[in-house]
Each structure stands twice: as C-alpha cells, then as structure tokens.
Structure 1
Amino acid sequence: GTPGVFDVTEYGAEPSNDDNKDAFMAAWRAACGSAAGNTTLLIPEGTFTVSTVEFSGPCKNGGSPVVVVVDGVLQPCSGGCHLYLGDGDAWITFSGVSNLLITGAGTLDGRGGDQISNAKSKTTTTLELDGVANATVRGLTFLNSRGFHLNFHRSSHVAAEGLHIEAPAGSHNTDGIHVGLSSHVTVADSLIGTGDDCVSIGPGSSGVVVAGVVCGPGHGISVGSLGREEGEDDVRGLVVSNCTVSGTTNGLRIKTWPGSPPSRAFNITFRDIVMANVSNPIIIDQHYCPHDHCSDIDKPSLVQISDVTYERIEGTSSSRVAVQLLCSEDRPCSGVRLDRVNLSCGEQQCDSKFSNVEGKPTMVAEEAAGPAAVPPEQEADVES
C-alpha cells in the first residue's frame, strides 16, 4: 500500500463481510499508532457493514492530522438487524483524538428511515466526536440516522463543513447536527433536512457559528432544549447567519423546560436569515413540553435568556403569529432586539405575541418591515 495510508481492506474489510468492525479497528490502531505523520485511514468505495465502533485516541500523530477518508458507504447492518444500544449511544465514535479530519465522498447510512417514526424508540447517534480537539468533518453524506446524525460532545475547535444530511420528515429525534458541552464550533455550508432540528445547540455550548446552512424539512435551528437536567452549563456566544430555512415547523427557536434548574443562555445573534413557508419563524418558548408529559408544567423555567438579536430576518411565515417571545415568568427575557424583521403571512397580517419580555424589545424597523415588526401590548396573554 501507499506509505502512511492504512486501507481497511488490507486489514480484512470486505463488502461481503457481515461485520467489518475488527478490520476497521485494526486499521485504526495502526494509523493512530503511527508516528510517521500524515497518516490516513482509508475506507474505499464499496458498501461496508460495521457494528458499533469507537476509534479512540490519543494518537501518535503529534501536530500532524490523522485523516479518515470515507469514500464508501457505511451501514450498521445488512439485513433485519437491531442496532439499538440505548438512548444517546453512538454507532461510530471518535474519542480523545486531536488533529482529526474526517472527509471523503462517502455516505454514513444509519438505515433508520421511516421505521424511526416512534417517538419512544431508542435512539442511536450516527457519528459522535467525544472529547475531540481540532477536528473537521467535511463533505460526507449522512442518511437516515436512528438518532442524531452528527454529535459534537465535550469537544473544542471542531467544524462541520459541506455536509449533506437527510432523513424522512416524519422521523423522530433525528437532529442533523447537535452541539453539547463544546466550544469553538463551526457548522458551515451544509444541506440539512430531517425530522427534527437541523442544528441544535445544547447546554454547555459556547462560541458556536452556524453559517450557510440550508435547512428543511425539520424543526429549524434551535437553542435547546435547555433546563431539563440539574447542573447544566450555560449557552453563550452563538451566531447564526446567512441561512435559509424552508418548510419547517419552527424557524429560529430557543426552547427551555418549565420548572427547570437555573442556568443562562445569552449573547445570541441570528442574522441574515431567509424563511420560506416556515411555521413559527421566530420563537422563544420557555414552556417547552414536547409530549405533554411535564410534571412541572405550571412552574416557571429558571433559564435566563438575555442579549438575543434578530437582524435582517425576512421571508414568509406559514403561521399567523410570526414572532413569539414567550419567556419565563420568573426570569423574563432581557436585551431582546428585533432589527429589520420583515416577514409576510400570506393574505393576512402577521401577528406577534410577547410575554415576560423586559422592556419593549428594541425594534429597529424599516418602513417596509411590515406588521410582524410591530409589537403588541406587553401584557398580551399567552395562549395555551
């Protein structure tokens, strides 16, 4: 083989194998253990079945990157298999690796699809980067995950670029890219359409940039949900810009659970977003209860949301209420700024609904900004 290239087929991987895990792990151990620099783990063209696999570090790559090239199709099983590992587990994990590039023309096919239509079914993340630093996932296609497609967890200085992520609109918990407990994260130039959030920013995320994402179908771009567990870290420093959201059930959403422990979400900017036929284009929901099974539904959320800017948001809303800022009775939202929000609601005028928002949200509206930019009275009732 080529020096520095560790081809899984040279370690026994074959498309005809029921499970190529051992071959993949052997090739990884060789690549990760090579101190020669510029090492590549190659998964060539072809369809390879592989069960749950964890590529763990640290590697001996020093300052040079470990490159993983996926040119083939990976699938968790070939027939009527059962992959479920329990909620939150991942099919393919990279952990404890620094300086990592995962790229190629290949596909990670979770083989979930429409069968993942039961909200109670166990979920399995397709690809998770856990405890990884200085890593990029670029150019791959993700199909039909049985849970999140890509999850950045406890990682820093990581990026997802040029990805194509697709799952049926009816599939549950199939977020495109989820970020949690991670800092300095970039999601860029990707096409994402699933049955859940295109991008979701979970607790403990900071310094996150989302740019050039085309989102839909799904649930839009979300911060949260926040406040479900004790001891969650804050969300701070998020910029979402130059994105297109179409045909989704929410546009730009911040969601927190009722009765939550205290935490904060602040310094969040949504800028230059185009909506097309989006329900709830702008929504803060501090009474988030997705399946109506919330024991604390009558208790206020204690997640403090502050310093949120919506700037140059335009397009069409499929719901009459285009802007909803439904904040916590106990921790009102503060520093919310709506600047040149120009949404139309078809034949009817757009409405907006605000509750528990400190001061009137700052409105910087152009003449043409339309009715969505006009706030109702501050005391507007929250419709259940």
Structure 2
Amino acid sequence: MKKQILISILAITAGAMSGCGKQEFAVTESSTSAAAPGSFSVPAKVDILLVEDDTGSINEAYPQIASQMPALLTSLESKGWDYHFATIPLTHIITTNEVLTSKHDPNWGSQWTAPWPGASMSSITGAVPAAFFRTPGTYTEFVDQNDINNSLTGHEPGFLTIRHALKYRMGSNGFMRSDSMLVIFVVGNGEDTSGVTFCTRSDGITGPCEDVGYPSQGTKASSFNYYKSELLKLRTSASLLKFYAAVSSYRRSNCLGGPAYAGARYMQMATALGGQSFDICSTSITASLDAMGVHLQAQKMNMRTRYLFIDQDANPDTITVTRFAGGNASQASVIPRDESRTNGWTYAGQVENVYAIDFPAEMNLSSGYAIELHGAAKLTGGDTANVTFKPAGTK
C-alpha cells in the first residue's frame, strides 16, 4: 500500500471571541512522514500460503507450526507488511474457509490501522469477506493429526494441490490480492511427485522412471517445468512470487516423527522462484520461519515508492518534500518540484487506485491525495521522506 502518517495535523484554531467580535483562524502547515517499503512503516502487501504435510510424517511439527506462525505474522506486520495468511494440506484438496489478516484489513473495525495517510476503510482494495476473516485468536485451519491422509501409497501431489488451491479454491475467500506478493511456504519431509511417471523394475521396485532405469519414459523435468509455469501465471511478474521449502535435504529414517525423503523438487522450485530452502530435520521450525521473514525483508529493500500520500488536498505551492537517505536524519535533501516529471515531484491531487510501489513490479493499489515522485526522486529501500504543506485554498 502506501505511506504511514506519523504527524498529520491541520490546526485550524479558533481565536478568542468577545460579544459579536470577529472570529479568527490560524492555518498552520501539515506534516506527513512517509517511507519506502524498505523501512518499517510502509505496508507492502504479501499473501502467504502455508502448505503443511498431511501424510502424518511430521506430526511432531504440527504444534510448533501452529504456535510459531502467528509470531512470524506479528513480526512481519511490525516490519511494515500488510499480510493475508491461509493454510492448506499438502496432499488433498480442500476449500479454505479462513483467512488471517494484518490490521490493515477493515474487518478489524476499531482496531483497524490505516495503511496510508487519508485512507478510509472503503478505499481499501482486496479486503477479505467478513465470513472468512479471522484474527490470530480465532484462526483454526492449521493442519493437525486429524487431517492425516495415508492413502497415497508413496505419491505426493504437492505442486498439483498448490496449483489447484490457488487457481480454483481461493477466489471467493479474499486470500489472494491482485496487487500483492504471493508467498508459498511448503513444510514437510516428503518429495513431490506431481505429474511424475512411475515405472516398475523387474525386481519389483517401483519409482520415478528416471530413478529405476527407464529414463526415456520419465517426466520429472517436464512436469516440474509445467508446474513452475502454472505458478508463475498466478502473478503479473515473477518478482511477485516467492516459494519457500522447509523439507529434508536428504533421505532419513526419522525426521519429526516419520521417515523423510529428500524434498529435491520443492528445493528446486524454491531456487527457481526466488525463495529459499531450509532443512526441516536439522533446523527448527522457529529458525526456518525466522529465516523466511529475514529473506522477505530483504525483498522489501529492493522496492521503490512512486507516490507519497497526504491526508487532505494541498496547495502545491506550499509543498516541501524532504528525503532522508536510508532513513538517516543527517542525510537530508530537499526533493525539487519538477513539472517536467524527470527527477523531482509533482502534485497529483486526488488519485484512484494507483500503484504506490512501481519496482520491481507494480504493487499496492492506493487512493487519496498524492505527490508523485519521478526519476531519481523515488524512494528506495530504507529511504524516508517528510512532506510539509498547507491545505488547498490557503497560502
């Protein structure tokens, strides 16, 4: 979304009146502070889908995930993310009925936090329908032992399940927004077999054809490329899709309550889609979640802000925009007004559904009174800005 107002005061102060004497008003400047997505005050949108192994092989991890994930989400919100969160099982398709959100969703009511100066609840795009909205205290769709599915006889259609859920099962619950980053986080100790052809050797051993001596019949590479392509179609830019995998890095006899297979395809997808992999058998759930959060923060440092929002219409001749490089108050520089729209700011007035972030991809549809930054004037990474102005109609 946009910027977060730190100070925004229109002080129209009534002077003392005596009898029928004249009423006096003093108009003072308003001040709005804003930041690029790399700082901790701009809520870049992210939709996080947690995909949990439901084969029963990581039953020791279920309570850890359920207890630690809310802490990660709280941490992300405190660091400037506007998140949606949902969970699905890894191997069977369900309809997701719950979406957990940051406080930038209007369903929070009196606890709602405006994502940019002047924002109203009605101006928020991508709000979750009330029937699906959940808070950390009411969210119940983490996978547990009651969801275990043991009927797959060695097959694990992880990619298939993820694709189907995101393409066909998330349309009505408001989980996935068109102007957000999509994060897929797989937690399990198996290996994906979506679209993989199995062959049986003469000794009775069955496995992917490439692994049991029939490479010409194998489909591991083609099926992987298919699902990679299908996932990329879910976003307008590859930079808006990240895949993370907490899986076993090699085959083990026991890992979190069951045998583990190397999650090679999950790790391969994480590499292909700009995420990271973590060894679930040697790294704690907490450490894996923390590492994912750190990696997401690094992505935010690459984002660039095009619009600064203020909470009311301004007189353009009174606007001053000051940038603090890297958020450092000692690195202040005034951004010039530039009607040539080259390397300065122009006053856009009231705008509707513009992308506040324009790099590495367009994100965060926002509406309100805005100052547009051009060229080198745009905020990046940890840059912050302060805007002072007087309301429209004043000098």
What interval of TM-score do these two structures reach, taking the shorter chain for normalisation? under 0.3
More helix by share: 2
More strand by share: 1
